[in-house]
Amino acid sequence: MSLPLIIGYILDLLIGDPYRMPHPIKLFGNAISFAEKRFNRGAYLRLKGSLVAGALVLLVFFVFFLIDRLTAPNVWLHHVVVAVLVFYGLANRCLVDEALRVEHQLTQHGLEAGRKQLSFIVGRDTRNLDANSIRTAVLETLSENLSDGVIAPLFYYALGGVPLMFAYKMVNTLDSMVGYKNERYLRFGWFSARLDDLLNFIPARITALLMVLVAFSWRGVAFVFKYGHKHASPNSGYPESALAGILNCRFGGPNVYHGVLVSKPYIGHNQRDITRADIRKACAINLAVSLLAVGVIVVVDWVV
């Protein structure tokens, strides 16, 4: 388990998401889109959505279980295959790169360029955001997706290898595509959203713990306990609170999502301007947390 994990982590660190290569998550998205268009109509939408989500997650687990078992007899082939799949399953280099791209566009080309670049990585309406709101959105995204895109996949890899890792990735992709509380997805995506909440419950809290550890921030600890449970999401508030405490800033507040004004509770109380240095520090924290998580898994694997 350890060697393929290390290789896959290093590949993600060096390369990031291979945009021009086939990617399992793109296949997941295509499958979800096909099923949603076919079944998200008529009656029994909750039942249909639950069956679609369950079937897709089980199918992914079974496919990756077969890949894992079929390659297992050849140790080196198995290591190579698992390392490549771990590489595909992690997204920290991509997350950090996207955050830095937003900051680059904002500082070098102005508000409109920053808003456009931000729109590629967030669900909120970016058209009227000022520079501080753009940077705040980047920080919230960095912390939330550190949990969803890095620590949670690592957590499920540690528990069940690549089959469980990619079953989780399917759940997370389902939530990102159909887990919205709007007229189209409220019933069809209900099960996907609840399942994603359940599977992220432990990883989100582990993420917050690792963040305050690498930053040596007691204020981050205090923020996690004070604000973590106040977020609309049962999980996102924990890593966001940790980062807000580390940086001593404020997240949350009203934002427009898909044409609807959503008032999120504030996390933190220091309403200061977010700086370029804050973005870079948050990126460094993400990289340090992912390295620590991999290190813990490797040590536990060797000991056990």
CA distance to 31, 32, 61, 125, 191, per residue, from 51 (Å):
14, 12, 15, 31, 9
Contact status, residue 56 vs residue 32, Cβ threshold 8 Å: yes
Query: pLDDT digit string (tens) for 184-235?
Result: 889 999 999 999 999 999 999 999 999 999 999 999 999 999 999 988 788 9
Query: pLDDT digit string (tens) for 98-130?
Result: 999 999 999 999 999 999 999 998 878 888 889
- 3-state DSSP call for residue 114? helix
Angle formed by the axes of helices 190-215 and 218-227, to 10°?
160
Please tell me the distance from the alpha carbon of residue 7 to that of residue 175, in angstroms, as a whole number.
29
Nearest to 252 by CA among 133, 164, 150, 145: 133
Phi-psi region of 46 (alpha: psi -120 to 50; beta: other; left: phi over 0): alpha
Please tell me the distance from the alpha carbon of residue 231 to that of residue 268, in angstroms, as a whole number.
12
Contact status, residue 103 vs residue 276, Cβ threshold 8 Å: yes
pLDDT of residue 259: 63
Supply the pTM of this predicted model: 0.93
Q: What mean pLDDT is predicted for residues 6-16?
A: 93
CA distance to 62, 165, 252, 254, 255, per residue, from 266 (Å):
42, 32, 4, 9, 12
Please tell me the distance from the alpha carbon of residue 141 to that of residue 143, in angstroms, as a whole number.
5
* 40 secondary structure, DSSP code: S
Please tell me the distance from the alpha carbon of residue 60 to that of residue 158, in angstroms, as a whole number.
17
User: What are residue 253's phi and psi, to 5 degrees?
Assistant: 95, 180
Query: pLDDT digit string (tens) for 33-87?
Result: 999 999 999 899 999 999 999 999 999 999 999 999 999 999 999 999 999 999 9
Single-letter code of the amino acid located at 196? D
pLDDT of residue 146: 96
Please tell me the distance from the alpha carbon of residue 216 to that of residue 144, in angstroms, as a whole number.
19
CA distance to 55, 107, 227, 283, per residue, from 250 (Å):
40, 21, 11, 18
Residue with tokens 């021009």: 20
Overall number of domains in the chain: 1
Query: pLDDT digit string (tens) for 262-293?
Result: 677 889 989 999 999 999 999 999 999 999 99
Identify any residues that bridge with 254 across adjacent strands, giving them in sequence order. 263
Single-letter code of the amino acid located at 171? V
* 264 secondary structure, DSSP code: E
**Segments forming the whole domain that contains residue 37:** 2-303
Q: What is the dihedral of CA 13, 15, 16, 22, to 10 degrees?
A: -140
